[in-house]
Amino acid sequence: MTENMWNYRSTSGHLTGADLSGYKVEATDGGIGKVDKHNDEAGDAYLVVDTGVWIFGKEVLLPASTVISINADEQKIYVDRTRAQVKDAPEFHRDQHLADPQYREEIGIYYGIGGPFGRPL
């Protein structure tokens, strides 16, 4: 895990400035959707994943630190969460949450210290 959940792991293969929109996102146990939006700014990097019909069109925000690897040739992003963990994540509503620090804190709790994963940031 990276020191900061809002940064990509150094081993992920992420290249700053790469457009990840449309990449398929794979959990540890199968596909979860496609990247709708992403931000790769240091300290504020994340993916917004459209889960489509899999969980009835819910969008979720995944901190960059959940990304294990990026395969540009296959246009796939692999994350270290299961489908159930992503499904249970707090729902993302673009108009409410994109710049909401309280929502970011909720995501931080869910994916970090004190959340169901019990792992330090």
- The first and second tokens of residue 55, run together, are 């969980």
Q: What is the pLDDT of residue 57?
A: 72
Question: DSSP of 12-76, one letter per residue?
Answer: S---TT---TT-EEEETTEEEEEEEEEE--TTS-EEEEE-GGGGTT-EEEEEGGGEEEEETTTTE
Q: What is the pLDDT of residue 87?
A: 87
**Residue 5 forms part of a structural domain:** no
Residue 35's domain is classified under what CATH number? 2.30.30
Spell out the per-residue pLDDT of the chain, length 121, in tens. 334 888 999 999 999 899 999 999 999 999 999 999 999 888 889 999 998 876 667 899 999 999 999 999 999 999 999 999 998 888 888 888 878 888 888 888 888 754 555 444 3
**Residue 46 forms part of a structural domain:** yes
**Residue 40 forms part of a structural domain:** yes
**Residue 95 forms part of a structural domain:** yes
Number of independent structural domains in the chain: 1
Q: Which domain holds residue 36?
A: 24-111
